[in-house]
Amino acid sequence: MFGNLFEEEEEEEGFSSTSSKGRVAKGGDEPPPPRGRSSLCGIKNQGGTCYLNSLLQTLLFTPEFREELFSLGADELGCLEDKDKPEAKVRVIPLELQRLFARLLLVDQQSASTADLTDSFGWNSSEGTNQHDVQELNRILFSALEHSLVGTSGSTFIHRLYHGTIVNSIVCKECGNVSQRQEDFLDLTVCVCGVSSLEEALWTMFVEEELFEGNNLYRCAQCNRLVTAAKTDGEDSDYTYELFSVIIHKGGCYGGHYHAYIRDIDELGQWEEEVKKVCESKLQEDDPLSVLTAIIAQESSKSVLLDQLGQKLMDKIGSSWSRKFRKHYGPIGKFLQSHNEVFLLVSNGTRVALKTNPSSPVTEPPGPAEQTTNSDPGSHWFDLNDSTVTSIRESDIEKQFQGKESAYMLFYRKTQLHRPSEGNEQHMAQEENLKLQQMREEFEATNNTVELRLHLAPSYKLENGALQPVSRDSDGSTALSFDRRKTVGDLRLAIYQMQELWEGDMALTVAKSLPAGLHLYNTLTDDTVSLYSAGIYTNTDLFVWNGREVCGGTVQTGAEWEPVLLTVVRPFLGENVEQEARGFAGGATLGEVKEALGEPKESLLCQEHKGGKRKEQGAGEGGGASGWRVFPPDDMQRTLKELSLKDGDFMLLCLLFLLSLVFITSVKHDVILQKMITFLSNVSLPQLLSEVKQRAIEELQLQEQTPGKILSNAAVHNHLKYTSTLKFVKLIKCMHKKQDLMLFCIFISLQSNC
């Protein structure tokens, strides 16, 4: 019956199938989700096409229309693959309608697209998405089908199925002659304003007797004169009908939304008895977090497409996000991102899910007054609202008679028509559904696969407060692709299988590559949790070890022990400045750093300071706007983290007598080093001390010949015979003993440009 309906010439929007060549949809393209609990397929809203969707679902659930359409084969309609061939006669509209109906009936997907069908109408994008009247569309669609089927066995099936006749009978009151006039119709327009029911409106318009009397007499053909007569319509039991579809409109005259209540005559879907939910805490409609969480939790997939979330919010609380929440909470996308502890954006940001599943609401069966009274076959109703299909009760139809949302177009079917139990056979759908299932599994696997970097302990050594690769030619990592839905225990087992020679315990610790080297943080201890719940994402580094030591060295873990990569500077007289990048554990004290550098106790540690108020300084003491700062003795017991030292900070290490030679100011460390090299290489000690003396006189406003305060040039030159470092230190001490404090203080704390 369905022939090659499932052979796509192009990929349908939101849907990709595997071709005969074995091409598989890209992992990044999400396949359509499966049908919901109703087992019925909805129709995607292209943007204002709800009126079309409601009518198409009604036609689909009309058994006689569906069977007449599917009875037309390729010998009469042609093949879509030949539609571009000039000599081919292809009837595109019925073929596209057949294909759409086949998908709605048989393919296991939540919703189907009408894009190909509207293209066959010749509609452009604006014609398809502009809101239209569903009654007008019904006439246009039937006319287009009749025109497309001219010359086929189905050329008259619209007329046969939907043709009606109004018989107006006028009875002469004098001779009893009956005159009848017939009028054909496709649909009836009924005015319900001012009447209490639809039956009253129909009776008033078509059944109630109309008298011709007084000035409004009727000319009888039998009597051949004006007579009193009555116009009426006799009852005919052969033409009784029952309601099976109600197309509902919500909104005003110039816009709104359509959806349809349809009776499932052939029992195509799975109708569910309504279950009242008693939540542990009543839904707070003024709390957007509570509302959005409840909406997502009610979905079978526990996720919602972002472009459908607004409509579901409207259905839930009867108001849009912009009207109720935007003023206080901003755009809905920004709100979701700001609550990333609750919501998770997946599928490349097109779908939102919950990070943790909320507690399931307690349910209770309906009360006695709510029990379904009609359980006859084909008596169940569904609400088909674009992509969403839900079970409803027959009593819900009565609520659609008035108000902003009310019944607009009613479809009736003769009560004498009966359906066989095999009204809907599953033809050729199994292969297509298997393809869809495979696509979903492949997509889920791709979407949940994380790329991990495993660092094995035998490939590392502990050096300078961090883990370093044993081999400089390799980073020591091994790539592993793994499903984040699996548990930590599954990952551990997989690594055991990869490392057949591994012996003893195996600890998996989250690691991070820092400038100083690899550092370890938290260890995964619960083998029962999934990688997703454990916070493992793609590109995560995992260190595989015994959990205690690496190459005999104890490894400190955690953020407080993050290593810091410092640049250690050592100045020398008459020589280039030595510079070394070296890492230290963040939890190490400054005294331990000094000891690790192997320097004598009398050496000083200084930190480059780039300005700021004294209270904002991370370490060290001293005045001036910028330059080097000496770490005081109390800082020797503080850790690098406590001193706020960061990667790339410079640390000066020198003896006391060299301190003044490097107290220069600069913002960039390369300028500092260049000035130090130039300065120490080109100046002599007599010149330097002379400048110190002159600077003291200028800064302190002293007289040059003030006795006992400043050493004269001659006095300084007398000490130049002390050429060794030890002797020069003695010179400084000598100055201190002589209480030349002014000069001594300037000598060791100059902080301006030399």
| Paired residues of 481 in beta bridges | 451
Give CA–CA dist 383/253, Å, rounded: 22
Q: Which residues contact 155 (CB under 8 A, 6 or more apart)?
A: 146, 149
**Tokens read off for 258:** 């359509």
> How many C-beta atoms lie closer than 10 Å to residue 576's C-beta?
12
715: phi then psi, degrees, rounded to nearest 5: -65, -40
**Half-sphere exposure of residue 142: CA atoms within 13 angstroms, side-chain side:** 20
* Of 582, 546, 593, residue with least CA distance to 466: 582
Q: Which residues contact 56 (CB under 8 A, 6 or more apart)?
A: 43, 100, 114, 117
Residue 413, classed as helix, strand or coil, is: strand
Residue pair 407/246 in contact by the 8 Å Cβ criterion:
yes
Catalytic residue set: 50, 257
CB-neighbour burial class of residue 347 (10 A; exposed 0-12, middle 13-18, buried 19+): middle
Helix and strand numbers (H, E) in the chain are 22, 32
**Tokens read off for 426:** 């599953």
In the 3-class helix/strand/coil scheme, how is 471-507 assigned residue by residue?
CCCCCCEEEEEEECCCEHHHHHHHHHHHCCCCCCCCE
DSSP string for 342-406 = TEEEETTTTEEEESSPPPPPEEE---GGGS-S---TT--EEEEETTEEEEE-GGGGGGGSSSSEE
- Nearest 5°: CA angle at 604, between 598 and 607? 105
Place of tokens 């004098």: 174
**Tokens read off for 18:** 């595997």
Q: Which residues of 69-105 are buried (b: 16+ CB within 10 A; e: fewer)?
A: bbebeeebbbebeebeeeeeebbbbbbbbbbbbbbbb
Q: Which residues contact 582 (CB under 8 A, 6 or more apart)?
A: 464, 565, 566, 567, 568, 597
Give CA–CA dist 631/619, Å, rounded: 7
